[in-house]
Structure 1
């Protein structure tokens, strides 16, 4: 018989918070910029995505996950790529 006591617990428990995300039914193109999008068009799209994040009950879980895995693209937890990069750089300066 296989010994299962050493297997990791259900992964679902680690990700279940995502089912509560306000973005779950939103158009994902709002959270990820198309190739070549720049300037005010990009800012308006990102601000619309962040507005959804602001009312999200799991915004902080999403934000921390995106920082933990260094998510390179899109708006996650109310933060853009540049904002996440700045936070991570600040953390590295403090520990480095």
Structure 2
């Protein structure tokens, strides 16, 4: 892709300009064939800034919280299956693709 890498790293997460920049970056991610792998990488290494795999910082934090919650439930004998951050990334990608 011939996109400016700065597109994926807005200066902030609030305000109309930052939100518009995130939206443009997510549009690029939606067309990218490695978006899922990109998101898995970001979740795996704990990237805290920028748009990765079609997600912003807040969305990745939510995916990681969900994965940790499911892992705790699974280890405490709950019927819920353990879901890693990678599994959460796959589900996120599937949900985005079905839109």
TM-score (norm 2): 0.67
| Runs of 5+ consecutive residues of structure 1 not aligned to the other structure | 1-21
C-alpha separation in 2, matches of 1:83 and 1:91: 12
Q: Which residue of 2 aligns with 1:30?
A: 7
- Which consecutive aligned stretches of 4+ in structure 1 deviate over 3 angstroms post-superposition? none
User: Which of the two has higher C-alpha Rg?
Assistant: 1
Q: Which residue of 1 aligns with 2:54?
A: 78
Per chain length, whose mean CA-contact separation is higher, i.e. which structure has more relative contact order (CA < 8 Å, sep 6+)?
1
Q: CA RMSD in A?
A: 1.3
Q: How many residues align?
A: 72
TM-score (norm 1): 0.69
In structure 2, the CA distance between the partners of 1:93 and 1:54, relative to structure 1 (3 Å rule), is: same
In structure 2, the CA distance between the partners of 1:37 and 1:72, relative to structure 1 (3 Å rule), is: closer
Counterpart mapping for 1:54-69 below 5 A: 54-69=30-45
